[in-house]
Amino acid sequence: MTGSPTVVRVQDVSKRFVIRKEKSLKERLVNFGRSNRHKEDFWALRNVNVEIGAGSTVGLIGANGSGKSTLLKLIGGILHPTSGTVEHRGRIAALLELGAGFHPDLTGRENVYLNASILGLTTKQTNKYFDAIVDFSGIEPFIDTQVKFYSSGMYVRLAFAVAVHVDPDVLLVDEVLSVGDEPFQRKCMDRIREFQSEGRTIIVVTHSMDQVADLCDRAIVLDHGNVEVDGDPIDALRHLRSDFEEMRREDISREQHDSLEPQTAARVTAVRITDHLGRPLDAITTGGDVDVHLDITADGTLDHPLIGVGIDNSLGQTVYATSTKMMQLAIPEISGSRSFTFRLPHLALNEGQYDITGTIYRTNGTEIHRYANGAPLSVETLGHSFGFIDVRATLLEHEDTSATVER
Amino acid sequence: MSVHDLERDKRAARLATEPLVPAGPTTGFLAGTGASIRGVWQYRELLRLLVRRELKARYKDSVLGFLWTLIKPLAMLLVYYFAIGKFLGAERSIPEFAIYIFAGLTAWTLFSEIVSTGTGSIVGNGGLVKKIYLPREVFPLSVIGSALVNFFIQLAILYVATLLTGSPPGLDRLVFVVAGIAIILIWATAWAFLLSAVNVYLRDVQWLVEIALMVGFWASPIVYSWEQVSGQIGGTIWGDLYLANPVTIAVMYFQRGLWVAGSDKPQPTGLGVHAAAALVVGLILLWVFQRVFARLQANFAQEL
């Protein structure tokens, strides 16, 4: 990326929101002079520095309220920094909300022209793209119907179709990549990939970690307005996940603290993996068998608990998970320490690093404790495929095939 | 090398030659003016579409549709004609009273429609302002477009009416109409800029504007004549103040341009000077208010 020109430069940007509690003239006059008492400062971003090169796809991630949407709006020029500068070059299209600017009383056709114009296309250009837009949206029969009669799905389809047909150098996207039904989503993602291959820059705010892992070549983790991590998406996601894990643990412990009934505490104290003879193990060849042992300790007697085991890949995506509930097994009770073993035979995982997670739940399914990334497991394959699983694929040769296949 | 790689390189090369520009509007006083004008010019097609949206959506699903734009001023004309002209007797000193009122009403409607609709234009388009960056000036400006369409329809009716009464204005009077339109457009646009921006921060403004416009309607010689006013306050400071109102000047110019029957009626002295002053001051105000707008718009998205 060294050779590519910078398209977005954010230098030392801070953004303060003033939360006012009064809005009318009367209240302002009454509170004039002591209005500071009715104001509250909130720093959405603090001293953020980001430089984005052309052709990269950057994910802005973080918890709710971490400032990622604010940063996106600053880049798009919708908001102004309190201090610092935001600069960009090339045409920017912001997709912060699908169908912003759609007028319910106008027909789909009229709205396409209006929306395209808002996003910076001329009427002549829209004429050129119009058929493609309608075709992409797949709502041709309704294009001359007023959009207020559209279903919400049709509405976003049309809006997205317009948005991806404007010709931006930089596309800002806020949580709008997962709209419509599955075939349409796939179409959208294909379109985004096409954008990437054409060297367009995409800056995306999303909560979908899979999307970040899948699309981005760089991720920025924001936390309370500060840049926590800026770099490889895998590192960023790992960081964010551990943050979330911490938040969740705090929530759980607070809940347990707050709840009036004393509840039995229990913990998964260890996650171990072995082969079927009980020998410790941290690597297998794909298709091998694994025994997962969960050591569980309960302070008292826990009635009808549920126990779960899961396998996460290095991006944190769950590739496999099960529990005693799903297996329709019942554990009458646990008191004191006990060990449970799940046997996972023929693990046809693809090459990579995995982590085993053990969890204990109450009967109603609420989590008591999760031992995340309890044990590492690396899987080796012959390297003949990619994806989640490894399948021993073969090519069947027919006698009438003219092409010869050689190994 | 694939087509995509080629496109990628071409894009990178083109981007490298473009300068880095600050995101959002320029707030500088002089440099910003040019930037604002360029921005609006770039979006002129959107402006046209917004005007069309406004006009199309307004009377959509109503049977009479666009006719409603005519019915309202005609109803007002009838009410004033009978209530003020006949019952209060204003008609006796004003020949062709209907033409007189309609000329004034047409001018006033243009002004009040731009100001009142313009005031709410940013708040009304909040969804767009918050989600997409555009030169926000297009919203108050689009109001002018739709107001002008209504205005020219009324003007056409007025002209037909003067033909029917047998006293159509000659071409030599066109200059008064044009000057009147210019004064109204400049002043109404200036106020629309300022009020639409302030209204985002203080929603009371739209109610204040409503009252101010009601007062403004009676502060111009629309349903009564200058002759009647000058008899009361002519020559006093109040008379000067009355004539300092640019809308009053514009209304009088309209009447002079379209109301032929009143050619021999007395005119305030120095009306031409007043009109020229209204134009110059109006242009300065338009510029200043636009700069205020540009300054205030930085925080629109977070205040809405």
Report for A235-239, A282-286, B89-93, B276-280: range of highest mean pLDDT = B276-280
Nearest Cα neighbor of B166 from B91, B102, B261 is B261
Q: Residue B134: helix, strand or coil by DSSP?
A: coil
Cβ neighbours of A3 in B, within 8 Å:
12
CA dist., res. A113 & res. B67, Å (int): 26
CA dist., res. A271 & res. A371, Å (int): 8
Whose tokens are 């390189």? That residue is: B9
Up-side HSE of residue B126: CA atoms within 13 Å toward CB? 11
A39-45: long-range contacts (C-beta < 8 A, 24 or more apart)?
A41/A16, A41/A17, A42/A16, A42/A17, A42/A18, A43/A14, A43/A15, A43/A16, A43/A17, A43/A225, A44/A15, A44/A16, A44/A17, A44/A70, A44/A225, A45/A13, A45/A14, A45/A15, A45/A70, A45/A71, A45/A74, A45/A81, A45/A222, A45/A225
Which DSSP helix (H) or strand (E) runs through A380?
strand A367-380
3-class DSSP string for B55-123: HHHHCCCCCCHHHHHHHHHHHHHHHHHHHHHHHCCHHHCCCCHHHHHHHHHHHHHHHHHHHHHHHCHHH
How far apart, in Å, are the Cα atoms of A129 and each of A121, A163, A207, B117? 10, 11, 31, 34
Report for B72-76, B139-143, B299-303: range of highest mean pLDDT = B139-143
What confidence score (pLDDT) does residue A320 get? Answer: 92
- The number of residues making up chain A comes to 407
Across the interface, which of A54, A88, A96 has its CB nearest the CB of B131? A96
Cβ neighbours of A123 in B, within 8 Å:
45, 49
Rounded to a whole number of angstroms, the distance from the CA of B295 to the nearest CA of chain A is 11
Nearest residue on chain A to B125, alpha-carbon basis: A101
Tokens of A141: 């029969």
Residue type, B189: T
The band of B282, judged by pLDDT with boundaries at 50, 70 and 90, is very high
Across the interface, which of B22, B128, B302 has its CB nearest the CB of A118? B128
Cβ neighbours of B11 in A, within 8 Å:
54-55, 169, 198-200
CA dist., res. B122 & res. A114, Å (int): 17
Q: Report the percentage of chain B scoring pLDDT > 90.
A: 36
- Record: contact A3-B45, CB cut-off 8 A: no
The band of B247, judged by pLDDT with boundaries at 50, 70 and 90, is very high
- Record: contact B57-A25, CB cut-off 8 A: no
A316-344 tens-digit pLDDT: 788 999 999 999 988 888 888 899 999 99
Show the DSSP H helices in A314-396 as ranges: none
Cβ neighbours of A117 in B, within 8 Å:
43, 45-46, 49
CA dist., res. B288 & res. A321, Å (int): 66
Residues of chain A with confidence (pLDDT) below 50: 1-2
Whose tokens are 């995101």? That residue is: B23
What confidence score (pLDDT) does residue A399 get? Answer: 62
What confidence score (pLDDT) does residue A292 get? Answer: 93
What confidence score (pLDDT) does residue A35 get? Answer: 53
What confidence score (pLDDT) does residue B143 get? Answer: 92
What confidence score (pLDDT) does residue A2 get? Answer: 46
Q: What is the pTM of this model?
A: 0.77
Q: What angle do CA B127, B133, B134 make, to 5 degrees?
A: 95
Q: Report the percentage of chain A scoring pLDDT > 90.
A: 16
- Select from A35, A41, A79 the residue whose CB has the most chain B CBs within 10 Å, as the one to mutate to test that interface: A79
Rounded to a whole number of angstroms, the distance from the CA of A6 to the nearest CA of chain B is 8
Residue B182 scores a pLDDT above 90: yes
CA dist., res. A98 & res. A118, Å (int): 12
What confidence score (pLDDT) does residue A405 get? Answer: 55
Tokens of B174: 């066109």
Q: Which region among A243-252, A255-264, B41-50, B52-61 has the lowest average model confidence (pLDDT)? A: A255-264
- Select from B51, B132, B136, B303 the residue whose CB has the most chain A CBs within 10 Å, as the one to mutate to test that interface: B132
Cβ neighbours of A146 in B, within 8 Å:
60
How far apart, in Å, are the Cα atoms of A175 and each of A229, A382, B113? 20, 38, 39
Can you state the percent helix, strand and coil of chain A, rounding each to 5? 30, 40, 35
Rounded to a whole number of angstroms, the distance from the CA of A383 to the nearest CA of chain B is 28
Q: Which region among A71-80, B19-28, B242-251 has the lowest average model confidence (pLDDT)? A: B19-28
Side by side, the strands of the sheet bearing A283-285 are A283-285, A367-380, A352-361, A306-313, A318-323
- Record: contact B15-A9, CB cut-off 8 A: no
Across the interface, which of B11, B12, B132 has its CB nearest the CB of A94? B132
B218-231 tens-digit pLDDT: 999 998 888 888 88
Which DSSP helix (H) or strand (E) runs through A306?
strand A306-313
Residue type, A344: L
CA dist., res. A140 & res. A123, Å (int): 20
Regarding an ipTM greater than 0.90, the answer is no
How far apart, in Å, are the Cα atoms of A10 and each of A59, A89, A170, A280, A334? 15, 12, 14, 50, 55
Q: Report the percentage of chain B scoring pLDDT > 70.
A: 96
The band of B127, judged by pLDDT with boundaries at 50, 70 and 90, is confident
Tell me phi and psi for residue A77, to 5 degrees.
Answer: 80, 5
- B58 Cβ contact partners less than 8 Å away, ≥ 6 residues apart: B146
- Record: contact A97-B127, CB cut-off 8 A: yes
- The number of residues making up chain B comes to 304
B171 contacts B241 by C-beta, under 8 angstroms = no
- Record: contact A200-B11, CB cut-off 8 A: yes
A305 contacts A362 by C-beta, under 8 angstroms = yes
CA dist., res. A212 & res. A225, Å (int): 20
- Select from B6, B36, B133, B300 the residue whose CB has the most chain A CBs within 10 Å, as the one to mutate to test that interface: B133
A190-202 tens-digit pLDDT: 888 888 888 889 9
Which DSSP helix (H) or strand (E) runs through A129?
helix A123-137
CA dist., res. A187 & res. A191, Å (int): 6
- Record: contact B15-A7, CB cut-off 8 A: yes
Q: Residue A21: helix, strand or coil by DSSP?
A: coil
- Select from A1, A80, A85, A193 the residue whose CB has the most chain B CBs within 10 Å, as the one to mutate to test that interface: A80
CA dist., res. A180 & res. A165, Å (int): 17
Beta-sheet strands, E only, within A66-213 = 83-88, 92-95, 170-174, 201-205
Nearest residue on chain B to A126, alpha-carbon basis: B45
CA dist., res. A369 & res. A371, Å (int): 7
